[in-house]
Structure 1
Amino acid sequence: MRPLKIILLLLLSVTAFTSCKKGNAGIEETSASADNLTVKKDNAVSWVNVIPANSFSSFSTYWNNLYPWGSDHNGTARMRAENISVSGGVLTLTSAPSGSVGNSNKDPYLPIHYYSGTVYAKTIPVIDTSWPKWHFKGEFQCESQRGTWPAFWITGADSWPPESDFMEFKGSATCWTNTYKNLSGGWSSVGTTVANPGNWHTYSVYVTKTNATDVSIEYWIDGSLKSTQTGANFVGKRFNIIIDYQMEGSSGSPGPTGTTYMRARNVIVEKSATL
């Protein structure tokens, strides 16, 4: 009987140790810290890198100048290649007064007051059954004075909507995270005050397919979840990824009288075939 008791005790010890390990793993996965978020996502999901953190150092491989549709959009800045530069892996978009050069060729056709810079990725994400989860992340220094309008966002490459604004400052220290179209057919918007947006901050977004047409979008700032929104009719759509330094428009006017900057580094895009 004594050998049998020893065997039983050993089996019980192994079982208890295994249960303890599973319990600790569960606690680790549910942690909300920035480091454990990476552990959680990476343990559950196998990521494929699409745009690497050093992509600005190989700019022409991964990025294009201006907007996908040209030089103008919905503010008072006209984009030029001369206002886009890269040094030490940091992308700098420079805005400066332009003088009177006519009106924007995009709705609402505002008068152009600035020359500035915008870039968009050569990668065209599609959230679908093959790649149901995407991760977008970058570090940014953003102006937050009246009339400055920096943003990091995706928009429909073939039609609008849909759109998801990962980070948008509109003339203040409030970072807006927005989704259009939501289930009600309009905007979902959440504003978060960011201390010193002109310092480096990290903006991270997970877009996950939830059914045949819709996605869940998690918006994170500096490792903290700020909003979870539903994007309706996002599935199967092609998206442009844009880093944008517009001026005035929704950010107020008059804007700055001098030169201002938006900077980006360590921008990554990943996709996963598993949820």
Structure 2
Amino acid sequence: MLNMVQISVTALLLPLTLASALPKRATVLIPKSVFDSTTSLEQYFTYNYPWGGNTHNGGARMDKEHVAISPPGTLKITAQPVKGQPPATHGGKQIPINYLSGAVGAKQHFNVPKGGGLVFSGSFQATATKGTWPAFWLTAVNGWPPEIDMAEWKGSGKISFNTFNTSSVLSWKDVAYNNPSQFHDITCELRDVNGKDTQVKFWMDGALQATHVGKDYTGKPFYLIINLQMEGSSGKPGPTTNTTYSVKNLEVTTL
């Protein structure tokens, strides 16, 4: 009888032992179906900036009307030239508003846990001409920094990958952005390295572009933002006709 009990217990424990040895599965935080419909978009994102504003540091005022699912599966933001808009105030300065455009911010906050990480990925069709400033970025919920510009186009014909530790201490990589009319795949991986700092890796079209380290990033919550800002750091004057920025296959997972 004793031997039978021992065998039964061993048989029960064996699957648990094997399961514990298997790698953890990634958890999907935002699925690739997020842009399949307006209903799905609004399940995961709010319109305008996630802290509640509709202007920031450029010449566009954001609104819901300039954000669309078009076609299904693709988020499309349009920046429209306008006149007569009241100026915005940023950093104590007034900024002329010359466009109406769009931004969406994820409802969920994201943070890198100790020993863990996050992966943000998607396909982007972005303009890189003067006066246009599309971006795919993370910024601090509480204070600033941290900030990670997972993909930023500032009117120079290039794409930028940036990680801010302070306003003057940052890492960046600018890469030529060829064929802007085509979709390009962007992936950003955040991984805790020591319980305190976060390693940030940037890929474009499957090729690793840069590896940065965010000091004291681990455990700090981020906003996720997709927006089409105009002018500002991308120069002026911007385009006199509509500008579009499209995103598809967006996904956020844990490591």
Match of 1:19 in 2: none
Match of 1:120 in 2: 105
1:45 shift after superposition: 5.6
Question: How many pairs were matched up?
Answer: 228
Match of 2:118 in 1: 134
Match of 2:160 in 1: 176
Which sections of structure 1, spanning at least 5 residues, go unmatched?
A: 1-42
For 1:45 and 1:145, how far apart are their aligned partners in 2? 42
- 2:45 counterpart (19, 44, 63): 63
Question: Is the 1:96–1:258 Cα contact (8 Å) retained in structure 2?
Answer: yes
1:269 shift after superposition: 0.2
Question: Is the 1:74–1:109 Cα contact (8 Å) retained in structure 2?
Answer: no
Q: How does 1:1-275 map to 2 (within 5 A)?
A: 46-57=25-36, 58-69=40-51, 70-87=53-70, 88-107=72-91, 108-129=93-114, 132-181=116-165, 186-272=169-255
| 1:209-268 deviation digits (Å, cap 9, x = unpaired) | 011321100000000000000101111111000001000011010000011100001100
For 2:94 and 2:189, how far apart are their aligned partners in 1? 33
For 1:264 and 1:109, how far apart are their aligned partners in 2? 31
Q: Give the letter for the 1:109 counterpart.
A: Q
Question: Is the 1:149–1:169 Cα contact (8 Å) retained in structure 2?
Answer: yes
For 2:240 and 2:78, how far apart are their aligned partners in 1? 13
1:46 shift after superposition: 2.4
Q: Which runs of 4+ in 1 moved over 3 A?
A: none
For 1:208 and 1:44, how far apart are their aligned partners in 2? 16
Which sections of structure 2, spanning at least 5 residues, go unmatched?
A: 1-21
TM-score, normalisation: structure 1: 0.79
Q: Secondary structure at the match of 1:105?
A: strand
Q: Secondary structure at the match of 2:57?
A: coil
For 1:170 and 1:192, how far apart are their aligned partners in 2? 12
Q: Give the letter for the 1:162 counterpart.
A: P
Identity of aligned residues (%): 37
| Bigger radius of gyration among the two | 1
Q: Give the letter for the 1:264 counterpart.
A: V
Question: Is the 1:124–1:240 Cα contact (8 Å) retained in structure 2?
Answer: yes
For 2:129 and 2:158, how far apart are their aligned partners in 1? 11
For 2:23 and 2:181, how far apart are their aligned partners in 1? 34
By percentage of residues, which structure has more helix?
1
Q: Give the letter for the 2:35 counterpart.
A: F
Q: Secondary structure at the match of 2:32?
A: coil
Q: Give the letter for the 2:199 counterpart.
A: S
For 2:175 and 2:67, how far apart are their aligned partners in 1? 28
RMSD of equivalent CA atoms: 1.6
| 1:96-126 deviation digits (Å, cap 9, x = unpaired) | 1120312113234311110000101112111
1:172 shift after superposition: 2.6
For 1:75 and 1:63, how far apart are their aligned partners in 2? 22
Q: Give the letter for the 1:125 counterpart.
A: F
Question: Is the 1:144–1:198 Cα contact (8 Å) retained in structure 2?
Answer: no
Question: Is the 1:173–1:196 Cα contact (8 Å) retained in structure 2?
Answer: no
1:175 shift after superposition: 0.5
